[in-house]
């Protein structure tokens, strides 16, 4: 707590006045541009690596950046994530949803261990809310990894996009640069796009191209941000070399 309290005092002395001015500026007319789902990992600071500011994004965080599929909830009402989607995309008319996974994700590392039946017994799930959360909502990611492993990580995966008829192909780490848990993290990030599209209250907006879903992946140890390119069919590092190509893809597909 000493670090937090000292940090608050530093905030008061350095940036408080500027932030208050920004709050006042957006008070009556905030125009957030995205709903951003990411992990609770303390190393993930999305406003810093996206250089966004007051009023720019709704940020939703949980263990493993999961968006539970609508099939788990009666009347789509019983969890934070769809409530955030409704608040952001319906009530506030935000047009872009971003799911951002990351390397060395502790939730994904645990999920990989849960392949072992001894790790995912009912007793372990009863005693561990995290195990229960992952077993309930991240099993499709684990099953997809198993398919990929059976093909020695070479086969393409197919994910549902904004509508059942819109699908996209994904090659996961085709250059084999990342450990298997990071491959799982990338799969899991793309799986959430399917889950988001399962909610009925978003259906019309998705069908009419009024709402768009994106995937990012952050490599913690290099600081690189990867954007999932549907044209390239893989996560592509967003840098000076690729920026224009990825920017044009976004403009063409999502405007």
Determine the average pLDDT of the residues in 37-62. Answer: 95
pLDDT digit string (tens) for 68-101? Answer: 999 877 655 567 899 999 999 999 999 999 999 9
Higher per-residue pLDDT: 38 or 163: 38
Q: What is the pLDDT of residue 120?
A: 77
Q: What is the pLDDT of residue 118?
A: 79
Q: For a pLDDT cut of 90, what percent of the chain falls above it?
A: 75
Please provide the average confidence, as pLDDT, over all residues in the chain. Answer: 92
pLDDT for res 74:
66
Task: Assess whether pLDDT exceeds 70 at residue 255.
Answer: no
Q: Distance between CA atoms of 235 and 155, rounded to whole angstroms? A: 15
Place of tokens 């492993």: 149
Domains and CATH numbers, the chain: 1-30 (no CATH), 31-254 (3.40.1050.10)
Q: Where residue 252 falls among pLDDT bands split at 50, 70, 90?
A: confident
pLDDT confidence of residue 183: 98
Buried-exposed string 151-172: b where 16+ CB fall within 10 A, e elsewhere: eeeeeebebbbbeeeeebebbb
- pTM confidence score: 0.92
Does pLDDT of 5 surpass 80?
yes
Three-state DSSP at 234 gives strand
Position 94 scores a pLDDT of 95
Q: At CA 177, angle to CA 241 and CA 113, rounded to 5?
A: 135
Q: Which residues contact 112 (CB under 8 A, 6 or more apart)?
A: 142, 145, 180, 181, 184
- Residue 31: the pLDDT is 86
Within 13 Å, how many C-alpha atoms sit on residue 194's CB side? 21
> Following DSSP, what letter does each residue of 132-188 receive, concatenated?
HHHHHHSHHHHHHHHHHHHTTT-S-EEEE-SSTT-EEEE---TT--S-HHHHHHHHH
pLDDT in tens, 129-159: 999 999 999 999 999 999 999 988 889 999 9
| Interval 108-124: pLDDT, tens | 999 999 988 877 788 87
Q: Report residue 168's pLDDT band, with 50, 70 and 90 as the boundaries.
A: very high
Asked if residue 70 lies in contact with residue 199, where contact means CB atoms within 8 angstroms, the answer is yes
pLDDT at 251: 82
Contact 217/230 with Cβ under 8 angstroms? no
């Amino acid at each position: 707590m000493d670090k937090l309290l000292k940090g608050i005092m530093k905030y008061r002395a350095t940036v408080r006045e500027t932030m208050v001015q920004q709050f006042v500026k957006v008070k009556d007319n905030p125009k957030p541009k995205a709903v951003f789902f990411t992990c609770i990992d303390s190393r993930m600071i999305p406003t810093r690596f996206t250089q966004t500011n007051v009023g720019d994004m709704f940020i939703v965080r949980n263990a493993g950046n999961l968006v539970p599929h609508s099939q788990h909830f009666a009347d789509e009402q019983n969890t934070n994530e769809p409530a955030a989607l409704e608040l952001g995309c319906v009530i506030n008319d935000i047009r872009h949803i971003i799911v951002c996974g990351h390397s060395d994700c502790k939730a994904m590392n645990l999920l990989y261990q849960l392949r072992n039946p001894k790790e995912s017994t009912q007793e372990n799930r009863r005693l561990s809310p995290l195990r229960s959360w992952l077993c309930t909502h991240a099993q499709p990611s684990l099953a997809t990894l198993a398919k990929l492993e059976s093909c020695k990580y070479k086969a393409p995966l197919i994910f549902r996009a904004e509508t059942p008829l819109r699908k996209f192909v994904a090659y996961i780490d085709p250059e084999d640069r990342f450990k298997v848990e990071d491959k799982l993290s990338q799969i899991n990030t793309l799986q959430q796009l399917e889950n988001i599209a399962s909610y009925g209250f978003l259906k019309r907006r998705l069908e009419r191209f009024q709402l768009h879903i994106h995937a990012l992946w952050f490599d913690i140890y290099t600081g690189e941000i990867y954007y999932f390119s549907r044209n390239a069919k893989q996560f592509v590092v967003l840098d000076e070399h690729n920026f224009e190509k990825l920017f044009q893809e976004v403009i063409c597909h999502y405007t």
